[in-house]
Chains A and B, each alone.
Chain A
Amino acid sequence: MKNIHLFAWPAVLALVLAFLPLAAFSQSPPPNRIAIVVSTLNNPWFVVLADTAKQRATELGYDATVFDSQNDTAKESANFDNIIAAHYQAILFNPTDASGSVANALKAKRAGIPVFCIDREINSTNAATSQLLSDSYAGCVKLGRYFVKTVGKQGDYVELLGLVGDNNTWNRSKGFHSVVDRFPGLKMVAQQSADFDRAKGLEVMESMLQAHPDIKAVFCGNDAMAMGAYQALLTAGRENQVKVFGFDGADDVVRLIAAGKIEATGMQFPKLMARQAAEFADEYIKGRHDFPAKIPVPVELVTHENVSQFGEYGKK
């Protein structure tokens, strides 16, 4: 009997030791993970937004993963399904569609995962925990005033719109037109969507130039389209006759403003928004739950006169 005890106790001990790590693993809290869902990574501006959010989340001690929705609400929905299944603790969300993305935010909310929108809005005040939104309307009011100042009160111009399902597209267009439409001598002879995309901006601008060779300016709803439009003007040899106005504060456009090739843009501060969203997510995880539903982030006008103050997607 004594011999049995002698052999049994080490065996029991070995068994306990073998299962100890497993037991410890099952008791440990889930890893700290934050998901960053971005509308597209096919635009440097959104890459900066995603990279900054990821960097800040990592600094705060989280394992951060970026998901690209490729401007497709179906892909965005699949991203959310994966994030919910993987039990992420928070989502930093740059939506693809103001109305179409509400369901995804609600899905995460039902799963107990807070959603913090960055830059783009969803049309709901109770789906996301908080939304950090560029004040596109006010920014384009400033841009519209500068447009009138530099183009003058007479002349034809064209407009390149962004994604038609995005509120930013219309807030920018309406802010711009709230000023420019007050000057009857300024006539918009064409307005077309180029989906916030540089290649489409180039293509749409080429066809607009063929139909309206005498335009004095082009207003673009983002800087990627402004770059495409400028490229079309270069190819047509019209870059000195047509003034280009963008919106975003992308580095390549800021450089072209400094070089006197593009007139102006609206600086949106993607790094500020991304960092703040990551900090909000961290605060939420640590217990704070009282966030304002929407927080507007101002847009600053970047022109030849003040371009030296800007760079690296923000103020120097």
Chain B
Amino acid sequence: MRLVRWLILVLFLAALAWRWPLFHLLPLQAARQQKMAALFDPGQFAAKFWKDRLLPSLPAAAPASSLIQAIQTNRAAARKKFGRSVGLGTDYFYFLSGTGKVVSATADQVSIACLPPYTNADLAIAIGPVFGDALRDGSGLLNINDYPNSQDFNAISAALDHLSETQVLPGVKSQARVGLTVRLAGCAEVDDESTDLRPLNLVPILFEAAPAP
């Protein structure tokens, strides 16, 4: 009788352990994959942000011609009206969109005029590796306070730069020729007003041929 009681208890415990196991055995490879999946993927985040938030926000960007005009008239007023700063910095960013005419195109740089008579280089797009935080911080759509770890926030910056470099710059390089009218959008960082405003160094989000202005 006692043996039967013990047997019932053991069977009961076995059933419990089968239903709610105390631990799981996982192959090392599968465990590694699970761990990686739980980590933040900046590339995936940046691709989704670009498509779902950055491109749809272009209508809210500063009109390129108004911005260039404002900078030429009064750079402090232009900064106040169109610029965006992050933290305690003196650096600031512009997020702009509009049309312009290519005034020069070399292997290293494409220059664009945004104001009549379309002869001065108001914007410059460097052909080559893209660096910096202009795309992350320029639009104002991303906030460092949403990221507990700044390494993730910085990784987003690198991933957005990579998207501009691989998805937009090849089009700039292949299409740009003097006289071409283009529709463009992007962000610019102003670190030193004596060198960074004329032309504005644009990290492009969009660059495509457009009807003449």
Contact = CB atoms under 8 A, between A and B. Distances in A.
Given A141-B131, A141-B132, A296-B144, A167 B91 contact: no
Interface of A: 98, 121, 123-125, 132-133, 135, 137-138, 141-142, 144-145, 167, 170-171, 174-175, 178-179, 182, 272, 276, 292-298
B150 interface: yes
Interface in B126-169: 129, 131-133, 144-151, 154-155, 157-158, 161
A171 B148 CA distance: 14
Nearest to A137: B154
A145 B126 CA distance: 14
A135 B144 CA distance: 11
Contacts of B191: 142
A294 B151 CA distance: 13
B129 A182 contact: yes
Contact of A175 (B146, B148, B154): B154
A137 B87 CA distance: 14
Given A296-B86, A298-B90, A179 B151 contact: no
Contacts of A135: 86-87, 89
Contact of B88 (A121, A141, A272): A272
B145 A125 contact: yes
Contacts, number: 67
A135 B191 CA distance: 14
B132 to A, nearest CB: 6
B91 A123 contact: no
Contacts of A179: 129, 131
A167 B87 contact: no
Interface of B: 86-91, 129, 131-133, 144-151, 154-155, 157-158, 161, 191
A297 B145 contact: no
Contacts of A272: 88
Contact of A294 (B132, B145, B155): B145
Given A135-B87, A276-B88, A171 B129 contact: no
Given A138-B133, A171-B151, A294 B88 contact: no
Contacts of B146: 125
A138 B134 CA distance: 10
Given A135-B87, A137-B157, A272-B88, 19 more contacts: A123-B149, A125-B146, A125-B147, A125-B148, A132-B88, A135-B89, A141-B131, A142-B191, A167-B149, A167-B151, A171-B151, A174-B151, A178-B158, A182-B129, A292-B145, A294-B144, A294-B150, A297-B88, A298-B89
A181 B134 CA distance: 20
A171 B149 CA distance: 10
Chain B at the A interface: mostly helix, strand, loop or mixed? loop
Point out which of B91, B148, B150, B151 has the most chain A C-beta atoms below 10 A from its C-beta: B150
A165 to B, nearest CB: 12
A295 B87 contact: yes
6 tightest Cβ-Cβ pairs between the two chains A and B = A296-B87, A298-B89, A137-B154, A293-B145, A182-B129, A295-B87
Given A276-B88, A293-B145, A296-B86, A133 B150 contact: yes
Contacts of B155: 174
Contact of A171 (B90, B131, B145, B154): B154
A181 to B, nearest CB: 10
B131 A124 contact: no
A297 B149 contact: no
Nearest to A272: B88
Contacts of B157: 137
Contacts of B144: 294, 296
Nearest to A295: B87
Given A272-B88, A298-B90, A123 B154 contact: no
6 contacts: A121-B150, A123-B148, A124-B148, A294-B145, A297-B88, A298-B91
Nearest to B130: A182
Nearest to B191: A142
Given A174-B151, A297-B88, A298-B91, A144 B145 contact: no
Contacts of A132: 88
Contacts of A141: 131-133
Nearest to B157: A137
A133 B154 CA distance: 13
B132 A297 contact: no
B150 A171 contact: yes
